[in-house]
């Protein structure tokens, strides 16, 4: 016989126990809770990337262990969420289903349908915000229209205030009824999220997925690098950023916990430097909210430019050039270093992301969508809202975008933010012996220095695949043609 009554807690991108509003609502029903994760059918347009699969595997393992430690478990279901939930509700005699919101266009549409269907069956169904400082539909102008400039968006958010939602993890849960468990025997390992060809060694060495790993990462950042955040966050060779993006994407830590932990550092210190550093860091959390605000209000921007003038942009489609960029073989050291860091670790420093994206879209004239797809597959923090905003910003076709005429010069960027070449040397060992003066421009290096450094351009390291100055002129001339199209 099924239990008298149960509550289903549907985990999605909220793989944590602390500060989890849906879980807190489930606890308040005082009914046995059935924690569930549903592996959905593959999204034809944005299937989960390889690096994200790796992270998801370990994050689910971590959540399952946390649940087992307090007497429960994580039930793994497979298939269409509406069908899976409806079936489970019948089997478990469920009266409540709770989950936390996802904000991708397909997710919103799907969740609305599921909520309507469950309510028809007299099941109390509610969803909550667990991943943003504020809901994207709450952050609009007085006239009801969405913001398209971050500064105005952020000022309005600060005036409105941050809706802090904090809850401690549950101390103990009731075990999942045996008759339910025996009908659902899918294991996390059965999902085959890990690669068959083990290319993920670099990911294992650099990341600790899961709620505990997220909390440790935040504490490590606040204990030391936050003070130097404004000056070090643009230096790719330094550990000057928080490295929390993947933890946030999978919901292993709440933005409220980050906010309050950072504010507490600022409140305990009267030094202007630390206060300003904390403000600069929290502003980046605001950018994440802004990305979701944009995707919610402009749901086609994950594939189409917000600035419609770019619909007529004469992009090039060269698989050879794209492959050189993907493999870190463009002959532009700072870009190649970033692309190799991405492949080996599943992550790339944000400053280098902008430089690499600028080269692809403005020098090589490859569509920004191609770069977005590559990042989606290779980043552990691949997030549709952030990925979309970042690529459209750099390409010049999004909200609050960099002006199109702002074309990053990768040589100058490298010399400014990696002046001694330590970042390039780490990821491009074939250039290790090149003097600092030439590390970001090996093609201009005198022959005798190249020989002394055992570098044979075109063989041990490629020549640049593009003339930076000439390609910049071409890009600007194209912009002059399309910017008049209204």
pLDDT in tens, 175-199: 998 888 888 889 999 999 999 888 9
Q: What is the pTM of this model?
A: 0.95
Residue by residue, DSSP assigns 63-124 as: HHHHHHHTT---EEEES-HHHHHHHHHHHTTEEEEEEE---SHHHHHHHHHHHHHHHHTT-E
Residues 6 or more apart whose Cβ sits within 8 Å of residue 289? 132, 133, 134, 136, 139, 153, 157, 255
Q: What is the pLDDT of residue 269?
A: 78
How does pLDDT run across 472-484, given as a tens digit for each residue? 999 999 988 887 6
Confidence of residue 4 (pLDDT cuts 50, 70, 90): low
What is residue 475's predicted lDDT score, i.e. its pLDDT? 94
Domain 132-164+213-297 indexed as CATH 1.25.40.80: yes
Dump pLDDT digits (tens) for 296-344: 999 999 999 999 989 989 999 999 999 999 999 999 999 999 999 999 9
Which CATH code for domain 308-482?
1.10.579.10
Q: Where in the chain is the domain with CATH 1.10.579.10?
A: 308-482
Give ranges for CATH 1.25.40.80 in the chain.
Answer: 132-164+213-297
Q: Does domain 1-130 have CATH number 3.40.50.620?
A: yes
Each residue's pLDDT tens digit, 202-258 = 999 999 999 999 999 999 999 887 888 998 999 999 988 999 999 999 999 999 999
pLDDT at 410: 98
Check pLDDT > 60 for residue 1. no
Please identify which residue in the block is written with the tokens 């971050």: 150
> What is the C-alpha to C-alpha distance for residues 486 and 484, in angstroms, rounded to an integer?
6
pLDDT of 403-448, one tens digit each?
777 899 999 999 999 999 999 999 999 999 999 999 999 999 999 9
Is the per-residue pLDDT at 44 higher than 90? no
Given a cut of 60, is residue 265 above it in pLDDT?
Answer: yes
List where CATH 3.40.50.620 sits in the chain: 1-130
Residue 402: band (very low, low, confident or very high) from pLDDT cuts 50, 70, 90: low
């Amino acid at each position: 016989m099924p239990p008298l009554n149960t509550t289903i807690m549907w985990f999605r991108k909220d793989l944590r126990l602390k500060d989890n509003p849906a879980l807190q609502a489930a606890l308040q029903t005082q009914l046995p809770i059935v924690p569930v994760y549903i592996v959905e059918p593959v999204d034809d347009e944005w299937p989960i990337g390889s690096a994200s699969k790796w992270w998801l595997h370990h994050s689910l393992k971590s959540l399952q262990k946390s649940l087992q430690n307090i007497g429960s478990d994580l039930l793994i279901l497979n298939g269409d969420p509406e069908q899976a939930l409806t079936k489970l509700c019948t089997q478990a005699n469920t009266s409540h289903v709770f989950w936390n919101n996802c904000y991708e266009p397909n997710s919103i549409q799907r969740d609305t349908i599921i909520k309507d269907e469950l309510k028809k069956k007299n099941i109390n169904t509610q969803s909550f915000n667990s991943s943003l400082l504020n809901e994207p539909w709450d952050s609009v102008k007085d006239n009801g229209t969405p913001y398209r400039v971050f500064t105005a968006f952020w000022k309005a958010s600060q005036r409105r205030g941050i809706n802090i939602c904090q809850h401690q993890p549950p101390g103990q849960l009731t075990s999942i009824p045996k008759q339910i468990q025996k009908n659902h025997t899918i294991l996390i390992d059965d999902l085959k999220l890990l690669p068959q060809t083990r290319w993920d060694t670099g990911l294992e060495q650099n990341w600790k997925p899961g709620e505990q790993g997220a909390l440790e990462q935040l504490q490590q950042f606040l204990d030391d690098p936050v003070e130097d955040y404004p000056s070090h966050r643009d230096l790719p060779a330094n550990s000057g950023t928080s490295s929390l993006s993947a933890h946030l994407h999978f919901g292993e830590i709440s933005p409220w916990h980050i906010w309050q932990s950072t504010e507490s550092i600022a409140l305990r210190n009267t030094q202007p430097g630390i206060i300003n550093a904390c403000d600069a860091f929290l502003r980046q959390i605001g950018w994440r909210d802004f990305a979701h605000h944009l995707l919610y209000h402009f749901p086609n921007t994950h594939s189409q430019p917000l600035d419609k003038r770019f619909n007529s942009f004469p992009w090039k489609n060269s698989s050879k050039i794209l492959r050189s960029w993907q493999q870190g073989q463009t002959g532009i050291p700072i870009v190649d270093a970033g692309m190799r860091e991405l492949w080996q670790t599943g992550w790339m420093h944000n400053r280098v992301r902008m430089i690499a994206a600028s080269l692809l879209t403005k020098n090589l004239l490859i569509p920004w969508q191609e770069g977005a797809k590559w990042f989606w597959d290779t980043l552990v923090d691949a997030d549709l809202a952030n990925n979309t905003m970042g690529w459209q910003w750099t390409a010049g076709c999004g909200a609050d975008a960099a002006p199109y005429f702002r074309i990053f010069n990768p040589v100058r960027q490298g010399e400014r933010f990696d002046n001694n070449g330590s970042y390039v040397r780490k990821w491009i060992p074939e250039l290790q012996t090149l003097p600092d003066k030439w590390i970001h421009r090996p093609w201009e290096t005198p022959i005798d220095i190249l020989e002394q450094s055992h570098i044979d351009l075109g063989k041990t390291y490629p020549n640049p695949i593009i003339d930076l100055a000439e390609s910049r002129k071409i890009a600007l001339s194209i912009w002059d043609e399309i910017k008049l199209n209204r």
